[in-house]
Chains A and B, each alone.
Chain A
Amino acid sequence: MASQTEGAGAQRRDAPGLDGPLLHQLVAHLHEQRGDLREEWARRITDAQLLRAMTPQEIFSEVTAVYDNYVTALETGSVETLQAYARDLSERIIPRGVETHEVLGIVLLLRDVLARSLFEHYQSDFQLLNRILDAYEPAANRIAVTVGVSFVEERERVIREQQEAIRELSTPVLQVRERLLILPIIGVLDSQRARQLTEQLLGAIQDNRAKVVVIDITGVAAIDLTVANHLVQTVEAARLMGASAIITGLSSKIAQTLVDLGVDLGMMRTVGDLQGGLEEAERVLGVRSSLGESGSQPG
Chain B
Amino acid sequence: MAVAILRQGDYLIASIRSDLTDGQLLALRDDLSERVGAQRIRGVIVDVRALDVIDSFMARSLSSIAQTARLRGAEMVIVGIQPDVAIAMVQFDLNLELLRATLDLDEALGLLDQLVTHG
A296–B102 touching, CB < 8 Å? yes
- Taken together as a complex, chains A and B put the C-alpha atoms of A239 and B89 apart, in Å, by 11
B21 within 8 A of A: no
B23 within 8 A of A: no
- Taken together as a complex, chains A and B put the C-alpha atoms of A78 and B98 apart, in Å, by 70
- Taken together as a complex, chains A and B put the C-alpha atoms of A285 and B55 apart, in Å, by 32
Q: Which of A237, A242, A299 touches B103 (beta carbons < 8 Å)?
A: A242
A296–B86 touching, CB < 8 Å? no
Stretch binding the partner chain, chosen from A4-12, A99-107, A170-178, A198-206: A198-206
- Taken together as a complex, chains A and B put the C-alpha atoms of A238 and B82 apart, in Å, by 10
B1 within 8 A of A: no
> How many residues belonging to B are interface residues under a CB distance threshold of 8 Å?
28
Cβ distance A231 to chain B, nearest Cβ, rounded Å: 11
A293–B86 touching, CB < 8 Å? no
Q: A267-B97, A294-B111 are in contact. Are A242 and B102 (CB under 8 A)?
A: yes
- Taken together as a complex, chains A and B put the C-alpha atoms of A203 and B118 apart, in Å, by 31
Q: Which of A195, A237, A242 touches B89 (beta carbons < 8 Å)?
A: A237
- Taken together as a complex, chains A and B put the C-alpha atoms of A236 and B96 apart, in Å, by 9
- CB contacts under 8 Å to B, within A190-240, are 195, 198-199, 202-203, 205-206, 209, 233-234, 236-240
> How many residues belonging to A are interface residues under a CB distance threshold of 8 Å?
28
Q: Which of A202, A288, A292, A297 touches B87 (beta carbons < 8 Å)?
A: A202
Q: A240-B78, A240-B81, A241-B81 are in contact. Are A296 and B87 (CB under 8 A)?
A: no
Cβ distance A147 to chain B, nearest Cβ, rounded Å: 46
A35 within 8 A of B: no
Please indicate the chain B residues that have their CB under 8 angstroms from the CB of A239 in the complex.
Answer: 101
B58 within 8 A of A: no
Please indicate the chain B residues that have their CB under 8 angstroms from the CB of A195 in the complex.
Answer: 87
A298 within 8 A of B: yes
Instruction: Choose among A202, A233, A293, A294 the residue with the greatest number of B CB atoms under 10 Å from its CB.
Output: A294
Q: A240-B96, A241-B103, A267-B97 are in contact. Are A292 and B114 (CB under 8 A)?
A: yes
Q: Which of A199, A233, A293, A297 touches B83 (beta carbons < 8 Å)?
A: A199
A199–B87 touching, CB < 8 Å? yes
13 other A-B residue contacts (CB within 8 Å) besides A202-B87, A298-B100: A195-B87, A198-B87, A206-B83, A206-B103, A234-B90, A236-B96, A237-B87, A237-B90, A238-B86, A240-B78, A292-B113, A297-B119, A298-B98
Listed A/B pairs (11) with beta-carbon separation below 8 Å:
A198-B87, A202-B87, A206-B83, A209-B103, A237-B90, A241-B81, A241-B86, A242-B101, A292-B118, A293-B118, A296-B100
Give the 8 A-B CB pairs with smallest separation, nearest first. A202-B83, A242-B102, A237-B86, A242-B103, A233-B90, A240-B86, A236-B90, A292-B114
